[in-house]
Each structure stands twice: as C-alpha cells, then as structure tokens.
Amino acid sequence: MRISSKLERTSLSLEPKSKYYIVPEGDNTEIQYFSGVRDNAQELGIRPLIEIIPIENDEEEFGQSHPKRKLSNFEKDLRNEKFTYDNEIDKVCFVIDRDPQNLSEKQLDDFINNCKKNDYEVYLSNPTFELFLIMHDNRVLKLNRQEMLENRREGRKKKRFLEKKLLEYFECNKTKLNFEKFKPNINKAIKNEKQFCEELDRLKNELGSNVGTLLDSMMED
C-alpha cells in the first residue's frame, strides 16, 4: 500500500495530530475524493489536528479490491512498520461498497467483525460509493430508490444507473473525478445522506451510506 501523504507529525503544536488512515476498496474513485478532502482541509473546515491519509494500493496490489484483501494488506504493512499507528489517537477507516455481486453477506459480516476487533471503522455505501457522490446534488432525493439500490447496467455503453447519474450531475466518471465540483457541496451531501440509511448493520441490505458521518466527524463544530 502506498501512503498518499507526508507522514511526519507536526512539530508546531504540543498536541499531536490524529491520523485518519482512509483505506478504500477501489483504486481510483475514493482515493481521488479523499485526496481532494485532504488537499482542501482548511477550506472545508476540517479540524486542524486531523491529518487525512488516503492509502493507495502498491503496484503489486493494484486491482485487489476485496475488503478482506484490503484488511490483510493493511495489517501486513502495519506489522512491517510501513507507517506509524497509535490506536489511542489515530483512526483506520475502511471505505467499501456493499456490492452484493462480489461480496456475500457472510463475507461482509466477517469483515466488519474483524475490523471491530481491531477498533477499525467501516464506512459502507450500498450499493456503491457513487451513491454518496451523487448525494452532493439535491436531485438524488427525487430518484427512484429501487432503481438506485438495484444499480443495473443500462444503455448502449452498459453503465450502471448510479454511474450514469454521476456523469449527468457532475460531468465526470468514477475513474476521473473533478473534486472541485464536489467541494462546495460536501455539507449538502452530509445532509442528504441523512434521508437514507446510515446505520452500518442496516446498510448491508438497505440503500444508503455512512461516509457522510466520517466527514462530519472530521469537521469543526
């Protein structure tokens, strides 16, 4: 795993920064989004004693998106002291999709339980992270929820329903985000998310996401 940040703790404050390690399922979308949050932390009102660290796959790990594999790789890098982690002040945040085609309910339960044993946090979007992205636009509240949950492939190019809405609303796709289009609407996404399921145990089967709660926890009151 590659760490998309400088890891040195600040020496300008007597109080150390809390590192938020963001370990996403995918190789592109979530990394681009949280790198944008990191790069615009002050403007977004992220608390100054938080350091956001998106963790990318190493070259040999590219394409390894299964949550079980992501957890295994993270634990391996931790054992190898590839980065520092203090469980008293730091957080490990796995950002994953429900994606029932690739992740059974038992696999998801096992993953969540293993994370809980290590005090890692899980941020889940059902069906995919694109749902949270389109929550940055109020039109998400008017969409057919069954269609959103099913997220079927549609049209000549066979894009999934949520990916098509992402292109329609923000003129970008999941492999190449323009964070500037999401930045002014993050508070809107946090608010819109509350109109859907945010409870981790229920997100296994219900439409929604709890990614907004992660962002909200980072922001100053």
DSSP state, 65? -
Q: Considering the domain boundaries, does residue 7 fall inside one?
A: no
Q: Is residue 8 part of a domain?
A: no
Q: What pLDDT digit, counting tens, does each position of 37-95 carry?
A: 999 999 999 999 999 999 987 655 555 568 888 999 999 999 999 989 999 999 999 99
DSSP symbol at 10: P
H or E element that contains 53: strand 50-56
Tell me, yes or no, whether 2 lies in a domain.
no
**How many degrees, rounded to 5, is the angle at CA 101 between CA 208 and CA 178?**
55
Q: How many domains does the chain have?
A: 1
Predicted confidence band at 11 (pLDDT cuts at 50, 70, 90)?
Answer: very low
Supply the range of the domain harboring residue 214: 16-218
User: pTM to 2 decimals?
Assistant: 0.90
Residue 24 domain-assigned (yes or no): yes
Write the CB contacts of 107 (distance below 8 Å, at least 6 apart in sequence): 67, 68
84 occurs within a structural domain: yes
Burial of 198 (0-12, 13-18, 19+ CB in 10 A): middle
Predicted local confidence at residue 60, as pLDDT:
58
Q: Report yes or no on 212 lying in a domain.
A: yes
Q: What is the C-alpha end-to-end distance of the chain, expressed in Å?
A: 33
